[in-house]
Amino acid sequence: MGKGLFISKTVGVVCVVLAAGAVATIIALSVVYSQEKSKNADVEPTSGGTSTAQPTAQPTEPPSNEPWDKYRLPDSLEPEFYTLTLWPRLQKNTDGLYVFTGKSTVRFRCKKETNLILIHSNKLELSLLDNQLARLSAVSDPSPPRIQKSWLQQETQYLVLQLTDVLKADQIYELYTEFQGELADDLGGFYRSVYTEDGVEKVIATTQMQPTDARKAFPCFDEPAMKAIFNITLIHDQNTVALSNSNVLDEFNTTEEGIDVTKTTFHPTERMSTYLLAFIVCEFDFENRMEGDVMIRIFARKKAIEAGQAEYALNKTGPILKFFEEYYNSSYPLEKSDQIALPDFNAGAMENWGLITYRETALLYDPAVSSNGNKERIATIIAHELAHMWFGNLVTLKWWNDLWLNEGFASYVEYLGADYAEPTWNVKDLIVLGDMHRVFAIDALASSHPLSSKEEDIQKPAEIAELFDAISYSKGACVLRMLSNFLTEPIFLKGLQSYLNAFAFGNTVYTDLWDHLQAAVDSSGMALPNNKKVHDIMNPWILQMGFPVVTIDTSSGTLTQKHFLLDPESTPSDFIWDVPIQWMKTGDEKPYTWLHQKEELNDQMRITAEEWLVANVNVTGYYRVNYDDKNWDNLLNQLNQISRKLPFFQTFYVIVFNHNFSNSRANIVPTTRALQTTSYLSKERNYMAWESALDNLDYFYLMFDRSEIYGLLQAYTRRQVTPLFNYFKTITDTWTKDPDGHTEQYNEVNALRMACSSGLTECNELVQNWYKEWMTSPDSNPIRPNLRSTVYCSAIAAGGEEEWNFGWQRLKEAAIAIEADKLRAALACTTKPWLLNRYLEFTLNATQIRKQDATSTIVYIANNVVGQPLAWDFVRTNWQYIFQEYGGGSFSFANLINGVTKRFSTPFDLKQLEQFKEENANIGFGSGTLAVEQSIERTKANIAWVNKNREVVKSWLESELSY
Ligand SMILES: *[C@@H]1O[C@H](CO)[C@@H](O)[C@H](O)[C@H]1NC(C)=O
Ligand SMILES: *[C@@H]1O[C@H](CO)[C@@H](O)[C@H](O)[C@H]1NC(C)=O
Ligand SMILES: *[C@@H]1O[C@H](CO)[C@@H](O)[C@H](O)[C@H]1NC(C)=O
Ligand SMILES: *[C@@H]1O[C@H](CO)[C@@H](O)[C@H](O)[C@H]1NC(C)=O
Ligand SMILES: [Zn+2]
């Protein structure tokens, strides 16, 4: 899946949210499972034949040892082929429900004799066939057994069939089912999405199978290693288009049950996993183009196609596909590549093979409305999904415990694909901000977890869903980037290509990739340090949680490492890593140095009084660096001569900043030293430097924005940012045109956002006037697209009901989701508690806020210092309701919990949080379980930090401001 909901950072008092660009995002996870009952799909167990006993809904406890109480399929059966017909009804039935009906035949091979068939089926109502829930027939066995007893096992989501006799090894059988399910608005399985066009409500039937919801669309062996070929037919209204993974084979008009319909049959798919299937029926239009032999189509609402919103995606898909064909040295495995923008979609995008689904904001672009960040997001997410067409789809991990390799890989190479499509943007550098620094914040907690999980620990759907987190995506990406870097790209690619070639259409475990990389290393003649293998070097990064902080003492030349933990009180582990260190002394690049032990000596790393040394130069290593005082002083001295003397890349700044701040939070360097690194900012114009500094200052705001220190922080920020504000005012001819360059454009937004939020009068007057101008003529928005998020937010924060209502009206009428999203974030910026409370209520009403947007809206509100306690009360009060109603696919509980608790820094906050955990233990936290623990740990660390630093920060700011 693509990176999901956008939960952005907050900066300063105004909770600015840039739903824009990977830079401002955290990965969010999406599919969340609750065991709630669907409205109409609970099927009572049926007995047949000679049996009368009916195992009804099984109590969860105590666990039994029956095969149907285990979450994993037995290894006795293996599917080969499905023939599936589905008919979604886009009108309500007489019970007021949207439903679909279907028929499916699965042909399977028996590998081990068994008298039991287990096949996944969830929330489907199965028809009785000869008094059983399925019909069994033999393809090769001359005397097949009959079904003796059949029932649905709700907890483990199986259709269970007990047979009169055994299925014989190496024989082939077929199982036929007929069923009905609800086409609910729950964003999982086969579901419905709704939009309005020309005043008419339109319903779409669409799918999201990953990870475990194919079983909600039809009975299937729903595990990634159970690959099969699918013959799919969709029955649909004659005015609609039907899409699936492969091309249309045949299409004709007919009648079914007296209704005029079209029957569309698709070519057999390639051999593939169930979680990559997709079926869509809609009234969309498309734009298309050939790239070599591959047909590329972008589907969207008719109005969006008419307005040209698909053009950017169409322009970029071909080149990105071509890039990956070369990168993987493997031609695109399918005949067509469809991509479709859906009004209701839970994650960011989903890599269904040949039919990729997206949120509208992740695919549709309009230069008159979209910012450069929106554009970057589209390019990277397309690259992410197309990367999966090989890595993930052609070659698939055997089980979900290795999800990190699939998602980490795509999250790494998305930058490479986007860089190819937009070579002037330098997006490759942005992984440091977009992934590494974000995940450092989580991976620095003692309640983090290793990349790799044990297969036996990942069983239930909720356990699988919990893996779609920042660790899998962002840490996975960083660790693979580090690996590609120290192996060098040619060797990495050689191993990767041979891995894909060896396992095409099959399944793997992560060590298979290591084996192929090792073979590439061996054949290249390259030697890894200490004669280690890829496997040995990577294991500590994969199997241990966290990351090291490397300390370089430039007077003794000693290198040391220890596990970096944000909370200085937490018990240190004795983890060590093999750390590849790229470093540079006073501008000279040095060869890789490796740190294998806790402590090593490297004489070359000593410096003279004037020299300076910097390690992890391009930030390709997944670790932090700290230095001795002398070197820090020399480095800070270099900073003050910025952009004249320092010859090297932007990311250098990032290291200095970020490492100083986080090191100070973890008590490794004094807070004042961290603060000192911001004092030169008034001279800084570089985006990476500013972004990094603001990211870190944000922590100070979160901790102090309800205290006396807030005023000082504001005055200091205002002083530092004013020159940047003036700089952009000049180069944009008084805010009338975009600056040149992708990151310059981002930095213009930073300047405006921080100047306004820190209370620079000129800035606030400027943006409020723009907004007023817009209010007087709603049809001509005078605000440049790049600036809209921040301008809307500042203006709504400064305004009252009228400004808010105007924004809400524009949101409802927005012709493109990207514009609606900007407004949705900005509406959370108001400082009026009653407006915020009303807005919170909207989040639980799908006619006001789409379910896909509910969590992120609550988190936007919590980002606002006024909204934070309201959002927390709201979540606490409504937890049970939220969990039940929004459990099935629409809520990202981890983001929600992290979002509403991130300001927590008092013993009282901690008590409330612990109480929340206790009171809701019986309801549960689903995929947010770990996030509750992480929030508690973070709160404790914050309490300690604030106690220790309140006075220090206050007096530092006072003395700094008194000059
Ligand atoms: C699947 O469809 C193809 C194309 O129509 C056909 O040749 C093949 O026999 C079908 N397979 C099965 C098992 O029905
Ligand atoms: C089916 O009928 C519809 C409506 O009359 C028509 O637009 C469509 O082209 C027909 N499709 C086929 C495959 O004949
Ligand atoms: C798509 O490419 C065409 C041809 O290069 C170009 O004219 C057009 O502006 C591009 N559209 C977008 C939205 O980038
Ligand atoms: C760092 O990146 C720059 C620019 O991409 C490159 O020229 C340089 O060789 C890299 N340095 C190292 C040590 O990899
Ligand atoms: Zn993905």
pLDDT 10s digits, 812-861: 999 899 999 999 999 999 999 999 999 999 999 989 999 889 989 999 99
The pLDDT of residue 219: 98
Residues 45-49: what's their mean pLDDT?
32
The pLDDT of residue 229: 98
Q: Answer yes or no: is the C-beta of 172 below 6 A from any ligand 1 atom.
A: no
Ligand 2 centre to CA of 305 (Å) is 22
Q: Answer yes or no: is the C-beta of 287 below 6 A from any ligand 3 atom.
A: no
The pLDDT of residue 614: 87
Residues 722-733: what's their mean pLDDT?
97
Residue type, 63: P
Residue 77: both structure tokens together: 């059966």
Q: How confident is the model at residue 693 (pLDDT cuts 50, 70, 90)?
A: confident
Asked if 294 and 337 touch (Cβ cutoff 8 Å), the reply is: yes
Ligand 1 centre to CA of 105 (Å) is 12
Asked if 943 and 921 touch (Cβ cutoff 8 Å), the reply is: no
Task: Choose the residue to mutate in 429, 617, 618 for probing ligand 4, maximizing ligand atoms within 8 Å of C-beta.
Answer: 618
Q: What separation in angstroms does the CA of 838 have from each of 805, 842, 843?
A: 12, 7, 9
Sheet holding 349-350, edge to edge: 285-291, 294-300, 336-342, 355-359, 349-350
Ligand 2 centre to CA of 202 (Å) is 19
Q: Which residues pair with 253 in a beta bridge?
A: 262
> Which residue is closest in CA terms to ligand 4's atom 4?
649
Residues 107-116: what's their mean pLDDT?
97
Q: Answer yes or no: is the C-beta of 81 below 6 A from any ligand 1 atom.
A: yes
The pLDDT of residue 16: 33
Q: SS3 of 439, please?
A: helix
Q: How far apart are the C-alpha atoms of 510 and 517, rounded to whole Å? A: 11
Q: What separation in angstroms does the CA of 335 have from each of 229, 278, 338?
A: 16, 16, 10
> Which ligand is nearest the CA of 240, by number?
2
Q: List pLDDT tens digits, range 784-819.
A: 999 999 999 999 999 999 999 999 999 999 989 999
Q: SS3 of 289, please?
A: strand
Q: Answer yes or no: is the C-beta of 312 below 6 A from any ligand 3 atom.
A: yes
Asked if 68 and 165 touch (Cβ cutoff 8 Å), the reply is: no
Question: To which residue do tokens 């940047």 refer?
Answer: 724
- For the cut 50, the answer to whether the pLDDT of residue 303 exceeds it is yes
Q: Answer yes or no: is the C-beta of 268 below 6 A from any ligand 1 atom.
A: yes
Q: How far apart are the C-alpha atoms of 513 and 498, rounded to whole Å? A: 9
> Which ligand is nearest the CA of 482, by number?
4
State the CATH architecture for 548-663: Sandwich (2.60)
Residues 130-146: what's their mean pLDDT?
93
Ligand 2 centre to CA of 197 (Å) is 22
- For the cut 50, the answer to whether the pLDDT of residue 268 exceeds it is yes
Q: Answer yes or no: is the C-beta of 251 below 6 A from any ligand 2 atom.
A: yes
The pLDDT of residue 674: 82
> Which ligand is nearest the CA of 591, by number?
4
The pLDDT of residue 632: 84
Q: 847: which residues sit within 8 A by CB, 6+ positions away?
A: none
Q: Which of 682, 689, 691 has the alpha carbon at shortest distance from 716?
A: 682
> Which residue is closest in CA terms to ligand 3's atom 5?
315
Q: SS3 of 618, please?
A: coil
> Which residue is closest in CA terms to ligand 2's atom 13?
252
Q: SS3 of 506, please?
A: coil
Pinpoint the alpha helices (H) of 198-310.
302-306
Task: Choose the residue to mutate in 425, 649, 654 for probing ligand 4, maximizing ligand atoms within 8 Å of C-beta.
Answer: 649
> Which ligand is nearest the CA of 650, by number?
4
Q: SS3 of 442, please?
A: helix
Q: Catalytic residue at 385?
A: yes
Q: How far apart are the C-alpha atoms of 553 and 550, rounded to whole Å? A: 10
Annotate 358-406 with three-state secondary structure: EEHHHCCCCCCCCCHHHHHHHHHHHHHHHHHCCECCCEEECCHHHHHHH
Residue 592: both structure tokens together: 């890789």
| Active-site pick, 385, 414, 748, 819 | 385
Task: Choose the residue to mutate in 82, 109, 139, 231 for probing ligand 1, maximizing ligand atoms within 8 Å of C-beta.
Answer: 231
Q: Answer yes or no: is the C-beta of 963 below 6 A from any ligand 2 atom.
A: no
> Which residue is closest in CA terms to ligand 3's atom 3?
315
Specify the higher pLDDT residue, 405 or 28: 405
Least confident of 14-23, 343-352, 642-651, 839-848: 14-23
Q: Answer yes or no: is the C-beta of 511 below 6 A from any ligand 1 atom.
A: no
Q: 74: which residues sit within 8 A by CB, 6+ positions away?
A: 67, 114, 116, 118
The pLDDT of residue 168: 96
Ligand 2 centre to CA of 253 (Å) is 6
Neighbours of 97 (CB within 10 A): 14
Asked if 174 and 137 touch (Cβ cutoff 8 Å), the reply is: yes
Q: Which residues pair with 690 in a beta bridge?
A: none
Q: How confident is the model at residue 658 (pLDDT cuts 50, 70, 90)?
A: low
Q: How far apart are the C-alpha atoms of 31 and 898, rounded to whole Å? A: 17
- For the cut 70, the answer to whether the pLDDT of residue 646 exceeds it is no
Ligand 1 centre to CA of 297 (Å) is 25
What is the chain's mean pLDDT, rounded?
A: 89
User: Which segments of 228-359 are extended strands (E)?
Assistant: 229-236, 241-244, 248-256, 259-266, 279-282, 285-291, 294-300, 336-342, 349-350, 355-359
Q: Answer yes or no: is the C-beta of 315 below 6 A from any ligand 3 atom.
A: yes
Q: What separation in angstroms does the CA of 390 have from each of 223, 274, 484, 885?
A: 18, 16, 18, 36
Q: Answer yes or no: is the C-beta of 311 below 6 A from any ligand 3 atom.
A: yes
The pLDDT of residue 465: 85
- For the cut 50, the answer to whether the pLDDT of residue 576 exceeds it is yes
> Which residue is closest in CA terms to ligand 3's atom 11?
312
- For the cut 60, the answer to whether the pLDDT of residue 326 exceeds it is yes
Q: Answer yes or no: is the C-beta of 589 below 6 A from any ligand 4 atom.
A: yes
Neighbours of 746 (CB within 10 A): 27
Question: Annotated binding site for Zn(2+), which residues?
Answer: 384, 388, 407
Least confident of 12-16, 342-346, 520-524, 904-908: 12-16
Asked if 655 and 631 touch (Cβ cutoff 8 Å), the reply is: no
Q: 956: which residues sit within 8 A by CB, 6+ positions away?
A: 671, 672, 675
In ligand 1, the atom with minimum distance to the C-alpha of 267 is: 4
Asked if 165 and 204 touch (Cβ cutoff 8 Å), the reply is: no
Least confident of 18-27, 151-160, 550-559: 18-27
Question: To which residue do tokens 């009180």 refer?
Answer: 569
> Which residue is closest in CA terms to ligand 3's atom 1?
315
In ligand 4, the atom with minimum distance to the C-alpha of 584 is: 13
Q: How confident is the model at residue 42 (pLDDT cuts 50, 70, 90)?
A: very low
Specify the higher pLDDT residue, 662 or 207: 207
Residues 222-226: what's their mean pLDDT?
98
Highest-pLDDT range among 127-131, 526-530, 608-612, 942-946:
127-131
Task: Choose the residue to mutate in 233, 235, 236, 238 for probing ligand 2, maximizing ligand atoms within 8 Å of C-beta.
Answer: 238
Q: DSSP states of 672-731 as a string?
A: HHHHHTTGGGGG---HHHHHHHHHHHHHHHHHHTTSTHHHHHHHHHHHHHHHHHHHHHHH
The pLDDT of residue 379: 97
Ligand 3 centre to CA of 314 (Å) is 9
Residue type, 139: V
> Which ligand is nearest the CA of 84, by number?
1
Asked if 281 and 192 touch (Cβ cutoff 8 Å), the reply is: no
Q: SS3 of 344, please?
A: coil
In ligand 2, the atom with minimum distance to the C-alpha of 262 is: 1
The pLDDT of residue 887: 64
Q: SS3 of 761, please?
A: helix
- For the cut 50, the answer to whether the pLDDT of residue 490 exceeds it is yes
- For the cut 70, the answer to whether the pLDDT of residue 82 exceeds it is yes
Q: List pLDDT tens digits, range 175-199.
A: 999 999 999 988 899 999 999 999 9
The pLDDT of residue 7: 31
> Which residue is closest in CA terms to ligand 2's atom 3?
238
Q: How far apart are the C-alpha atoms of 546 and 478, rounded to whole Å? A: 13
Type and span of the H or E element at 320: helix 311-328
Ligand 1 centre to CA of 177 (Å) is 18
Residue 460: both structure tokens together: 């239930």
Least confident of 160-169, 223-232, 287-296, 437-446: 437-446
> Which residue is closest in CA terms to ligand 1's atom 6?
268
Q: Answer yes or no: is the C-beta of 649 below 6 A from any ligand 4 atom.
A: yes
The pLDDT of residue 35: 24
Least confident of 331-335, 515-519, 921-925: 921-925
Specify the higher pLDDT residue, 576 or 43: 576
The pLDDT of residue 587: 75
Ligand 4 centre to CA of 958 (Å) is 40
Q: What is the DSSP letter of 436?
A: I
Q: Which residues pair with 559 in a beta bridge?
A: 552, 600
In ligand 3, the atom with minimum distance to the C-alpha of 315 is: 1
Q: Answer yes or no: is the C-beta of 240 below 6 A from any ligand 2 atom.
A: no
Identical topology for domains 57-282 and 548-663: yes
Q: Answer yes or no: is the C-beta of 618 below 6 A from any ligand 4 atom.
A: yes
Ligand 5 centre to CA of 174 (Å) is 33
Q: How far apart are the C-alpha atoms of 536 and 531, rounded to whole Å? A: 10
Where does 57-282 sit in CATH, by number?
2.60.40.1730
Ligand 2 centre to CA of 705 (Å) is 62
Residue 76: both structure tokens together: 């006795």
Kindly list the domain boundaries of the chain, sorted by start residue. 57-282, 548-663
> Which residue is closest in CA terms to ligand 3's atom 4?
315
- CB burial of residue 776 (10 Å; 0-12, 13-18, 19+): exposed
Kindly state the percentage of the chain with pLDDT values over 70. Answer: 91
Q: How far apart are the C-alpha atoms of 333 and 270, rounded to whole Å? A: 9
Distance, first Cα to last Cα, the chain:
52
Q: DSSP states of 907-940 as a string?
A: HHHHHHHHHHHHHTTTT--GGGHHHHHHHHHHHH
> Which ligand is nearest the CA of 386, by number?
5
Residue 698: both structure tokens together: 């944000």
Which residues have C-beta under 5 Å from ligand 5, the single-atom ion? 1, 407, 410
Q: How far apart are the C-alpha atoms of 482 and 200, rounded to whole Å? A: 52
Q: How far apart are the C-alpha atoms of 870 and 862, rounded to whole Å? A: 8
In ligand 3, the atom with minimum distance to the C-alpha of 312 is: 13
Q: DSSP states of 38-75 as a string?
A: PSS-PPPPB--TT------S--SSS---SGGGSSSPPS
In ligand 3, the atom with minimum distance to the C-alpha of 308 is: 13
Q: 669: which residues sit within 8 A by CB, 6+ positions away?
A: 626, 632, 660, 663
> Which residue is closest in CA terms to ligand 3's atom 2?
315
